[in-house]
Amino acid sequence: PEKKAKKSDCGEWQWSVCVPTNGDCGLGTREGTRTGAECKQTTKTQKCKIPCNWKKQFGAECKYQFQAWGECDLNTALKTRTGNLKRALHNADCQKTVTISKPCGKLTKPKPQGKFHLLGAAR
């Protein structure tokens, strides 16, 4: 007869956010805790990494898939785009949808046809 595996009375690991070793992204650590009267280990530290190309303003452990930039709003000189949650690392609490804005940059105006070229042709 097979021995039944003893069920652990330990709770699930609850992880803190990843804290980078240097700066605001890259390698770092996170702290894990769990409960249980007979639990041998209730805390531990784990290595983690925050990708430097993620939009950290929405949480360093939240990854979004962004749509294309919208048209420039001439009143605000900003363009916006929306991102939908793609992945949340380590059960991070992430917003489902986020919106970001940025300056439009140089507004491209149609260049006037060269006056000098036209004047030269008239002669």
21 and 43 share one domain: yes
pLDDT (0 to 100) of residue 53:
67
pLDDT digit string (tens) for the chain, length 123 residues: 554 445 567 888 888 888 888 887 888 998 999 988 888 888 999 998 877 766 566 766 788 888 999 999 999 999 999 999 988 877 778 889 999 888 987 655 555 555 554 454 444
Number of compact structural domains in the chain: 2
100 and 60 share one domain: yes
Residue 63 counted as domain residue: yes
58 and 101 share one domain: yes
What are the residue ranges of helices labelled H in the chain? 115-122
Rounded to the nearest 5 degrees, what angle is found at the Cα of 80, between the Cα atoms of 77 and 85?
A: 160
Q: Report the C-alpha gap between 101 and 3 in whole angstroms.
A: 60
Q: Report the C-alpha gap between 25 and 52 in whole angstroms.
A: 5
61 and 47 share one domain: no
User: Residue 82 is part of which domain span?
Assistant: 53-106
Calculate the average pLDDT of the chain.
77
Please name which of 98, 77, 101, 73 lies closest in space to residue 88, comparing C-alpha atoms.
Answer: 98
